[in-house]
Chain A
């Protein structure tokens, strides 16, 4: 379309509309909202990992300021049903009841005029614990059910998934068998803004209003209504500026239920703002997977079959609405990655432990499965004595196989996976690095080169989520658009933009259809009171789903615009067409959107008799032609320098070749990728919540929980391919998570390439200097072949 020429349509590097307010510090986040008489909430949280609560005391006269679970009898326990077979339900109370199951679990809710005062109250609470052994190791918790997290269960397993597709037949053909154990550490997601909710009763609207740092305001509304036992229309959720979500803010939390109950009961504003300590301790909820893998390959390195045992450390509770089943479901289905092989057997255990309950973090399971699979590809290459790049390339699904149904019955819609890998190799300039590697660095460091490829299911729809057994399944997403008097446009979407730049990209999509200057397109989101329903922003879905709806809704306006425009020009409608934001008639006569909106809103006497009385607003839905997902994909390639004296890994060059179908805004895509890669580098090298034998987390501040900063993130060079999805509007694919998927895999592969001469292969995140040094020091004691 010629709208691309305007520099604002699909494909334009339009600067983000959001940037100005954020760069000037003029955003409005939940803690920026101050209401008269507002009270602050703090929690007494469990100092122990696993215990029965045998006594609970507060100072006399503190009723109404210090609340136990039973003081809020209307609040129901959080239970997330799942239709997956073998799934066991957990029951999480808004304040712990009977037992505590992780350090940081809220037990008592305290209210003060200031947060400090609320914390003073929390210090006056006395709780007696009868401590139980803490289950910290998921393998042990699974194999030994004598101590149980949920005592009504007969073991510690949320669920077990298994799949066998052609394993026996394919594995028999193998020349080489490669076995590896691969592990990922437990992480917190660390959005810049933690969670926060301000709840207030609005007498005028007769509604409970929650200002909440949420990715999914419509889902939060349903959750609040259900767990508080009130009618949904009596709840409005407003998610203002939200400082990052990453999956953490898709969930109904106990703290939300407490402040909502307080606002209902006392008809005053109450707010809870999570601090970093609470986040690190009570929010260490992601990434921890353990893999035992056996790959079966030909002597050329062709992967034939994979046998996998996956253990996911699920923590203490299953969340609403995504459930603990999402992570094992995704791990089981996505482990085969972008590869073409026909034998797959997997058993996935999701185990309850005394840690915060697992939540879906950007990349959901795929960071783990990509790490496991990509390390295996390199291990196969070493086993058959071939370049990992070659082995990777020969195993990728080829473009002539597209669309491709893989061994886990995933349907890859489009793309040229090998080309992305080849391009990544060229852009990195592998020959240059190989030469430098041979020559050796002047400072003694050693060079390593690594690759990783993945594909990312985005915008997966109804059938996929239904198969994961969730109590919530996304269906159609809707958008409501309205031309304003004067020729501008309002676009209302039910998703929430918290860093994705959707105030810009949704405007670009509208511009693409209607030609309206993006400065005149007002995107409204994050408010259940003003937007159509959507399950929200997660799973790399918003630009495909809500974006598709925006395109559909804008298109629906065109015939209505043309009819009015033709009438204003007194031209036959059939001879008029809509072009560049105006109706063009015979002889080049034009009727602008300003003329047309003026007629509709202010001068209806000018309208044709057969005008479409739905007017200049439309609400339409979108669902892809096939809802199994639009698969983005990428290959990452890095060169690293490893300091064998300190264990430090420096990333010298980082190349991404990605394909997310039609690019709506390449700059937004690149910035999303960079942010994700920064988090992935955190997973690879820095981030970890460790627990001692009693289940005490070792990191409660950012001094101990190390996240990469600007100086740890290299210059990242991003290149694009564009293979439109056959199933979505304009061929767009989602890509918000992708950046966070490949970094651990690509960095470890590069480090293992560097360390190959030492016989060292690292397979456990994060790659701390300590771990690397220890591996190197141990390797010195053993000759190379034995060490490998």
Chain B
């Protein structure tokens, strides 16, 4: 299929992009790795596409001391190729996002805004306790990554807003990171995923299960148990998952429990 008719604009800066977005039935596009197919399938039919992929301010990666600030139009490949001191998980996660051709074009902001529950970044940024900076014609606001997605393919973003950047706190000394995703084949969205951060220096223990039919689900009680005991038993994992995602079939329960246990096993 081919996309329905749309207009295309390529603003020079965020201000221009926001005016283009306002009231125009417009949609931002960066790498187009999810929106492209949706346009072609005519599942998305915006009147205007606002290409934010070349706005310089969105393409920056900045060291803010306590944190890294990653522009929304930074590609997965750029994160893969540039390890960030204190945020090492980002490069290792980026390396396994889809496959290189997708990583060359796809952006972190695009992934967050698209809000596929199985995608890597919504889960990883939630676990890393990142904060999104969202800009709109009405002003700028900060939204915690673990609250940004409100349902599958749904976020807090309003039609006239766009993600400007993501602030990812640097890990403390001795922090441990576990990330596991199960994909049927290389490059596919996972069937189950989990991310765990244990950062004793900052007194943080965060565990999230991804690839559910809803936003990444916090399993913080499990994370605290792991932080304290060094491990948890399979029954506790099963019970925690049953609370956040009830009604799963036998196989789905098992697979998600495996993802959580394998993420834990990595720390």
Residues of chain A at the chain B interface (Cβ within 8 Å):
114-116, 119-120, 275, 277, 645-648, 686, 700-701, 703, 706, 708-709, 711-712, 768-771, 773-774, 776-778
Known interface pairs A114-B2, A769-B251, A771-B251; A711-B41 also in contact (CB < 8 Å): no
Hey, which chain A residues are within 8 Å of B251, CB to CB? 647, 769-771, 773-774, 777
In the assembly, what is the distance between CA of A706 and CA of B185, in Å? 8
Contacts of A709 in B (CB 8 A): 185-187
B4 within 8 A of A: yes
Point out the residues of chain B lying under 8 angstroms from A771, CB to CB. 251
Interchain nearest-CB distance for A659 vs B (Å): 32
B82-90, B171-179, B252-260: which one contacts chain A?
A: B252-260
Any A CB within 8 A of the CB of B184: yes
Which residues of chain B come closer than 8 Å to A277, judged between CB atoms?
1, 41
CA distance A123 to B66 in the complex (A): 53
Shortest CB distance A131–B (Å): 23
Please, how many residues of chain B have a CB less than 8 angstroms from a CB on the other chain?
26
Is B244 an interface position by the 8 A CB rule? no
Chain A CB within 8 A of B81 CB: no
B184: chain A residues at CB < 8 Å are 686, 706, 768-769
* Complex alpha-carbon distance, A711 and B2, angstroms: 30
Q: Which residues of A contact B192 (CB under 8 A)?
A: 646
Q: Is the CB of A769 within 8 A of B191?
A: yes
19 contacts between A and B (CB under 8 A): A116-B3, A119-B2, A120-B4, A645-B258, A646-B192, A647-B251, A647-B255, A703-B189, A769-B184, A769-B251, A769-B255, A770-B191, A770-B249, A770-B251, A770-B252, A771-B251, A773-B251, A774-B250, A777-B251
**Judging by beta carbons under 8 Å apart, are B252 and A712 in contact?**
no
Contact A648 B189, CB 8 Å, known A116-B5, A120-B4, A769-B255? no
In the assembled complex, the Cα of A712 lies from the Cα of B187 at a distance in Å of 11
Q: Residues of B contacting A703 with CB < 8 Å?
A: 188-189
CB distance from B36 to the nearest CB of A (A): 12
Which chain A residue shows the least CB distance to B3?
Answer: A116
Question: Could you tell me the distance between the alpha carbons of A115 and B186 in the complex, rounded to whole angstroms?
Answer: 32
Contact A275 B1 (CB under 8 A): yes
Q: Which residue of the partner chain, among A769, A777, A778, contacts B182 with CB atoms under 8 Å? A: A769
State the CA gap A774–B250 with chains docked (Å): 6
Interface residues of B in 231-267 (CB under 8 A from A): 249-252, 254-255, 258, 261-262
Main secondary structure of the interface of B (DSSP, over half): loop
Identify the closest chain B residue to A710 (Cβ): B186
Contact A711 B191 (CB under 8 A): no
For the complex formed, measure the closest distance between the CB of A745 and the CB atoms of chain B, giving whole angstroms.
21
What's the nearest-Cβ distance from chain B to residue A647, in Å? 7
List of A residues within 8 angstroms of B187 by Cβ: 709
A773 touches B250 (CB 8 A): yes
Question: Is residue B37 contacting chain A, with contact meaning CB distance below 8 A?
Answer: yes
Chain B 39-64 per-residue mask, 1 if CB under 8 angstroms from chain A, else 0: 00110000000000000000000000
Contact A711 B185, beta carbon cutoff 8 Å:
yes
Q: How far is the CB of B220 from chain A (nearest CB, A)?
A: 24
Q: How many angstroms from the CA of A700 to the CA of B38 in the assembled complex? A: 12
Q: A770 to B250, alpha carbons, bound, how many Å?
A: 9
CA of A120 to CA of B3, assembled, Å: 9
Report A649 CB to chain B, min CB distance, Å: 11
Give Cα distance in the complex from A774 to B262, angstroms. Answer: 19
B185 near A774 (CB under 8 angstroms)? no
Bound complex: CA A709 to CA B185 (Å) = 8
CA distance in complex: A285, B191 (Å):
27
B258 CB contacts on chain A under 8 angstroms: 645-646
State the CA gap A776–B253 with chains docked (Å). 13
Question: What residues of B have a CB within 8 angstroms of the CB of A776 in the complex?
Answer: 254
- Chain A residues contacting B42 (CB-CB under 8 Å) are 119
How far, in angstroms, from A709 to B41 measured CA to CA in the complex?
Answer: 23
The 4 closest A-B pairs by CB, nearest first: A116-B2, A773-B251, A711-B186, A645-B258
Q: Which residue of chain A lies nearest to B186 when distances are taken between CB atoms in the complex?
A: A711
* Complex CA–CA separation, A114 to B2 (angstroms): 9
The answer to whether A645 and B2 touch across the interface, beta carbons within 8 angstroms, is no
Known: A277-B41, A701-B41. A686 touches B185 (CB 8 A): yes
B4 CB to closest chain A CB (Å) equals 7
> Judging by beta carbons under 8 Å apart, are B254 and A712 in contact?
no
Give B202 Cβ to nearest chain A Cβ, in Å: 31
Query: Are B1 and A119 within 8 A (Cβ)?
Result: yes
Interchain CA distance A573-B262 in the complex, whole Å: 82
Q: Do B188 and A706 have beta carbons less than 8 Å apart? A: yes
If A116-B5, A119-B1 are given as contacts, then 5 extra A-B residue pairs at C-beta distance below 8 Å, sorted by A number, are A645-B258, A646-B255, A686-B184, A773-B254, A774-B250
Q: Which of B5, B41, B188, B250 lies in contact with A777, CB distance below 8 A?
A: B250
- The distance in angstroms between the C-alpha atoms of A769 and B181, with both chains bound, is 14
Minimal beta-carbon separation of B259 from chain A (angstroms): 8
A275 neighbours in B (Cβ, 8 Å): 1
The reply to whether B41 and A646 contact each other, CB–CB distance below 8 Å, is no
Residues of B within 8 A of A120 (CB): 4-5
A-chain residues with CB within 8 Å of residue B185 when the two chains form the complex? 686, 706, 708-709, 711-712
Complex: chain A residue closest to B262, CB-CB: A645
Q: For A647, A700, A708, A771, which residue has the most chain B Cβ atoms within 10 angstroms?
A: A647
Partner of A774, one of B3, B4, B5, B249: B249
Bound state CA distance, A753 and B120, in angstroms? 35
Q: Quote the shortest CB–CB distance from B239 to chain A (angstroms).
A: 16
Shortest distance between the CB of A443 and any CB in chain B (Å)? 10
From residue A465, how far is it (CB to closest CB) to chain B in Å? 38
B235 CB, min distance to chain A CBs, angstroms: 14
Q: Nearest chain B CB to A769's CB is how many angstroms away? A: 7
Contacts of A768 in B (CB 8 A): 184
Q: Which residue of A lies closest to B259 (CB)?
A: A646
Within 8 Å CB of B249, what residues of A?
Answer: 770, 774
Q: Closest A-chain residue to B2, C-beta based?
A: A116
A112 to B: closest C-beta gap in Å = 10
Knowing A645-B254, A701-B41 touch, does A712 contact B1 (C-beta < 8 A)?
A: no
Closest partner residue, chain A, to B187 (CB atom): A709
Residues of B within 8 A of A648 (CB): 182
Residues of A within 8 A of B254 (CB): 645, 647, 773, 776-777
Q: Enumerate chain A residues within 8 angstroms of B189, measured Cβ to Cβ.
A: 703
Q: Which of chain B's residues has its CB closest to A773's CB?
A: B251
| CB within 8 Å of A: which B125-161 residues | none
A732 to B176, CA, bound (A): 62
Find chain B residues with CB under 8 A from A770 CB.
191, 249, 251-252, 255
Most buried by A among B184, B250, B262: B184
Q: B residues within 8 A CB of A712?
A: 185-186
Complex Cα–Cα for A677 and B254 (A): 30
Contact with A along B91-135 (1 / 0, CB 8 A): 000000000000000000000000000000000000000000000
Closest B residue to A778 using CB positions: B250
CB distance from A109 to the nearest CB of B (A): 16
Among B4, B5, B37, B255, the most chain A Cβ lie within 10 Å of the Cβ of B255
Smallest CB-CB separation from B192: which chain A residue?
Answer: A646
For the complex, give the distance between the alpha carbons of A74 and B66 in Å: 76
- Please, which residues of chain B bring their CB within 8 A of the CB of A706? 184-185, 188
Contact assessment for B37 and A701 in the assembled complex, using a CB-CB cutoff below 8 Å: yes
Q: Name the A residues within 8 Å of B191 (CB-CB).
A: 769-770
Chain B residue at minimum C-beta to C-beta distance from A116 = B2
- The docked-state distance in angstroms from the alpha carbon of A647 to that of B191 is 11
CB distance from B40 to the nearest CB of A (A): 9
The answer to whether A116 and B37 have CB atoms under 8 Å apart is no
Once bound together, how far apart are the Cα atoms of A537 and B262, in whole Å? 50
In the bound complex, residues from chain B placing their C-beta under 8 Å from that of A711 are: 185-186
Could you tell me the distance between the alpha carbons of A646 and B193 in the complex, rounded to whole angstroms? 12
Which chain B residues lie closer than 8 Å to A700 at the CB level?
41
Separation of A115 and B255 alpha carbons in the complex (Å): 42
B186 near A646: Cβ-Cβ < 8 Å: no
User: A119 CA to B5 CA in the complex, in Å?
Assistant: 11
Chain A: which residue is nearest B37 at the CB level?
Answer: A701
- B255–A773 CB distance below 8 A: yes
> In the complex, A416 Cα to B67 Cα: how many Å?
69
Please name the residue on chain B nearest to A711 by beta carbon: B186
B192 to chain A, nearest CB (A): 8
